């Protein structure tokens, strides 16, 4: 069974640009959550999608958005990038609820210059 | 507001020793407590998890001890090996309603020396 796949693995963007990250969950999993990981703030919850609906949202500005498609694949978008958005963005998938047996992908390392 | 406090920040243990990492939580609604292991350049990997209806869960060399009254739980790694050197995160969440997210501790960097 394939794991959670995130693409791309690495990204370098310039301040003010926007970026889209992709996540393909484990086959059969319908919940996809996104987390931001930084040395200073640790792992912070961004949002969770289930059956194409955002089910929960963390405390991030509106520049951070996401969506989920009918095949459960999810994308995360960050607009008007800031230097502080540099982080490892992780996607986790689970069967029904995001908080039970969540499996993470390897992440996308975003660097904003 | 940090809802899950993890200690120590870093830990050095000799090969064969016991590694102990502690976490404390504030929200009594939490009812699911997983531990994740993360190697450099990788995403966190689910190691072991516990629910508050049991006080201990063991899987191989990894054991979670849970103290509901003290709102604390800990990870014990028996017979620690150099391959266990990684960062460990505790987490907590509650599974009712639609509030489905993991709240993580700040992580413990474990180094197992020869």
Block mean pLDDT (10 aa), chain B, length 114: 88 98 94 94 94 94 96 98 98 73 94 96
Q: How far is B79 from chain A (nearest CA, A)?
A: 26
How far off is chain B from A90, nearest CA to CA, in Å? 7
Are residues A108 and A45 in contact, defined by beta-carbon separation less than 8 angstroms? no
Greatest alpha-carbon span in chain B: 47
Judged by CB atoms closer than 8 Å, whether chains meet at B105 and A42 is answered as yes
What is the mean predicted confidence (pLDDT) over A30-49? 93
Q: Cβ(A104)–Cβ(A91) under 8 Å? A: yes
Residue B24: CB atoms within 10 A of its CB come to 18
| Selected residue of A10, A30, A66, A102 to mutate for chain B interface (largest B Cβ count, 10 A) | A102
Give the residues across from B17 on adjacent strands.
none
pLDDT surpasses 90 at A100 = no
Which residues lie below 8 Å from residue A19, measured CB to CB, with a gap of 6+?
Answer: A11, A13, A77, A78, A81, A110
Q: In this predicted model, what pLDDT tens digit does every residue of A46-86 receive, in sequence order?
A: 999 998 999 889 999 999 999 999 999 999 999 999 999 99
- CA dist A64 and A12 (Å) reads 17
pLDDT at A97: 65
Cα A29 to Cα A99: distance, rounded to the nearest angstrom: 13
Complete edge-to-edge strand list for the sheet that includes strand A19-24? A5-7, A19-24, A74-78, A64-68
The neighbour count for residue A69, using CB atoms within 10 Å, is 12
Q: Which two tokens stand for residue A4?
A: 């959670």
Side-chain-side CA neighbours of residue A81 (13 Å): 19
Cite the DSSP H helix spans in A4-112. none
SS3 of chain A: helix, strand, coil, percent, to 5: 5, 55, 45
pLDDT at A2: 78
The percentage of residues in chain A with a pLDDT greater than 70, rounded to a whole number, is 96
Residue entry with tokens 């992580």 = B107
The three-state secondary structure class of B73 is: strand
Q: Is the pLDDT of residue A15 over 60?
A: yes
How far from each other are the two terminal CA atoms of chain A, in whole angstroms? 37
User: What Rg, from alpha-carbon coordinates, does chain A have?
Assistant: 13
Residue A98: pLDDT band by 50, 70, 90 thresholds?
A: low
The Cα–Cα gap between B35 and B64 comes to 9
Residue A84: helix, strand or coil by DSSP? helix
A100 CB neighbours in chain B (<8 A) are: 32, 95
How many residue pairs from chains A and B have C-beta atoms closer than 8 A? 66
Min Cα–Cα distance to chain A from B100, Å = 5
């Amino acid at each position: 069974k394939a794991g959670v796949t995130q693409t791309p693995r690495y990204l370098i963007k310039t301040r003010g640009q926007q970026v889209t990250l992709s996540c393909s969950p484990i086959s059969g999993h319908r919940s996809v959550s996104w987390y931001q990981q930084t040395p200073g703030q640790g792992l912070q919850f961004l949002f969770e999608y289930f059956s194409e609906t955002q089910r929960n949202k963390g405390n991030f500005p509106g520049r951070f958005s996401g969506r989920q498609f009918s095949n459960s694949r999810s994308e995360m978008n960050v607009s008007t990038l800031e230097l502080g958005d540099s982080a490892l963005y992780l996607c986790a998938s689970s069967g029904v609820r995001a908080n039970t047996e969540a499996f993470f992908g390897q992440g996308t390392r975003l660097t904003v210059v | 507001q940090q809802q899950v406090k993890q200690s120590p920040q870093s830990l050095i243990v000799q090969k064969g020793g016991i590694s102990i990492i502690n976490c404390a939580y504030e929200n009594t609604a939490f009812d699911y407590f997983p531990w994740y292991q993360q190697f450099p350049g990788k995403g966190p990997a689910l190691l072991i998890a516990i629910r508050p209806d049991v006080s201990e869960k063991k899987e191989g060399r990894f054991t979670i001890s849970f103290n509901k009254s003290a709102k604390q739980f800990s990870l014990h790694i028996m017979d620690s090996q150099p391959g266990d050197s990684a960062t460990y995160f505790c987490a907590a969440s509650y599974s009712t309603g639609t509030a489905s997210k993991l709240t993580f501790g700040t992580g413990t960097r474990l180094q197992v020396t020869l």
